[in-house]
Structure 1
Amino acid sequence: MVGSIYNDMKASNVSVVSSNLQFGGLNNGTMVGVGGGGGGGALGNGHFENWGDSGVVADHSQQTDTSTDTDDKNQAYVQQLENSRLRLTQLEQELKRARQQGVFVTSGFSADQSHSVGGTGALAFDIDYARWLDEHQRLINDLRLAVNSHVGDSELRLLVDGVMSHYDEIFRLKSVGAKSDVFHMLSGMWKTPAERCFMWLGGFRCSEVLKADLLRQQTLRQLQRILTTRQAARALLAIGDYKSRLRALSSLWLARPKE
């Protein structure tokens, strides 16, 4: 009898499964294959549905998150560029104001006017000195080209006089700068590191920065009177090359790889 009941239950279960499979699913808490999607789905209310579709949705969601992260990074990069542009504009405006104040200082109407600018005196001198160096390099290049081309003495003298006058300009700028910010001038911080190093090796004294200028100016004038035009030109080229090499050495030192 037990075997008969077992056989009846087995046949009944087989028929149920067959019937349910015929309609594409299993009910009453069993696996139910609903819909035309291949594979199974997530278990919800006792059902597995659309496993393949869920995988596609997950992949699409992951791609969406990646795309969102990329967009956020791009926006941050654009914002960084915009901030840099604004900062550059601000620096340009500050430099423009400093140059305007520098023109006021270096015009040197009176000592009181120079002192009224105060803290901008050092910056004004640094700007004027950088401008003087650029012009000086141009004059030296023209003089070197004239010497190598063997131009006449009259034309060469004009170039020598131009370099001499340009040296007078730097002496004037340093005099005005000392009235505005004497400590900046005495410290020699407007010079390159290599120039300051040689000043230190030579037993540098702050007062010599200004006192020696008068001696330098007188030496240049005597040089022009004693030497011929062509000799004076070569002497100016030698002085210019010496200064240029010191600045080049400083540039190499500042550009060295940092460990």
Structure 2
Amino acid sequence: MFDVEYARWQEEHNRLMYELRAALQQHLPEGELQMYVESCLAHHDEVLAIKDAVIKGDVFHLISGVWRSPAERCFLWLGGFRPSEVIKMVLSHVDPLTEQQIVAVYGLQQSAVQTEEALSQGLDTLYQALSDTVVSDALTCCSTPNVSNYMGQMGLAVHKLTTLEGFVRQAEKLRQQMLHRLHQVLTARQMARSLLAVSDYFHRLRVLSSFWVNRNRMAPQDQQLEAGPHT
């Protein structure tokens, strides 16, 4: 169900990006361009509700990345993009920035990195605690005398796993906050360029994935081209 809803969200996202790009190329006034930017941000907010449902139902499905293309999975962090990486894209694609904007954006990046590190460290601690619970002597067998201990340890492991949902929700909140804070710092035109840069980045990863998946079929064609026409 999530995969279907996300695919629909992606289709709408592509449409909004097409409209945003057209609006940017038409050199619309800031006020008009702002409406397109706000529509895109509102659409980004919608994916949070879609993800929240799957976090409750099957958080492992979300963090596994099976709903994303193979290349995108390589860069997946707690079910989505790293906010600090998006800010790097903004800094490399949006010019010129005022000195005040540069200070604000770098401040956002530093804050994002610190929060990402804290969440990653917390996740590592959770995984270690979960591993310690699973390898406990109480789970070595399930003979009648140890059923109580076995079930108790399994219950403890399940409880630890529920905290994983909290980590993913915090990551989703960080992604949302980062986009909205960037919107507060940048002009409508700069924010439009930022959104398009991020969208183009993930589109290229999906194209790369398509080439990767079809590489075996493409190899014979490449060999034929290299061999040239037969005489």
Give 1:237's match in structure 2, choosing from 170, 186, 196: 196
Deviation at 1:155, TM superposition (A): 1.6
Distance in 2 separating the partners of 1:169 and 1:199 = 19
Match of 2:22 in 1: 145
- RMSD after superposition: 2.4
Letter in 2 for 1:142: E
Match of 2:95 in 1: none
TM-score (norm 2): 0.54
CA contact (8 A) 1:223 1:232 kept: yes
SS of aligned partner of 2:215: coil
Give 1:183's match in structure 2, choosing from 60, 70, 73: 60
TM-score (norm 1): 0.48
Instruction: Select the structure that is richer in helix.
Output: 2
* Higher mean C-alpha deviation, range 220-229 or range 248-257: 248-257
Query: What are the within-5 Å matches in structure 2 for residues 119-134 of structure 1?
Result: 124-134=1-11
CA contact (8 A) 2:16 2:40 kept: yes
Q: What per-residue deviation string (whole Å, max 9, x for no partner) do you get for residues 141-176 of structure 1? A: 110111111012222111101100000011111011
CA contact (8 A) 1:186 1:210 kept: no
Match of 1:154 in 2: 31
Match of 1:77 in 2: none
Query: What are the within-5 Å matches in structure 2 for residues 26-105 of structure 1?
Result: none
Distance in 1 separating the partners of 2:200 and 2:34 = 19
- What is the total number of aligned residue pairs between the two structures? 135
Distance in 2 separating the partners of 1:229 and 1:127 = 31
Q: What per-residue deviation string (whole Å, max 9, x for no partner) do you get for residues 84-108 of structure 1? A: xxxxxxxxxxxxxxxxxxxxxxxxx
Letter in 1 for 2:216: P
What are structure 1's unaligned runs of at least 5 residues? Answer: 1-123
Distance in 1 separating the partners of 2:190 and 2:178 = 15
SS of aligned partner of 1:138: helix
Distance in 2 separating the partners of 1:210 and 1:194 = 23
Deviation at 1:199, TM superposition (A): 3.5
SS of aligned partner of 1:181: helix
**Higher-Rg member (1/2):** 1
CA contact (8 A) 2:72 2:205 kept: yes
- Check if 1:198 corresponds to 2:75: yes
What are structure 2's unaligned runs of at least 5 residues? Answer: 83-116, 128-163, 220-231
CA contact (8 A) 1:188 1:209 kept: no
User: Relative contact order, CA 8 A, sep 6+: which one is greater?
Assistant: 2
SS of aligned partner of 1:191: coil
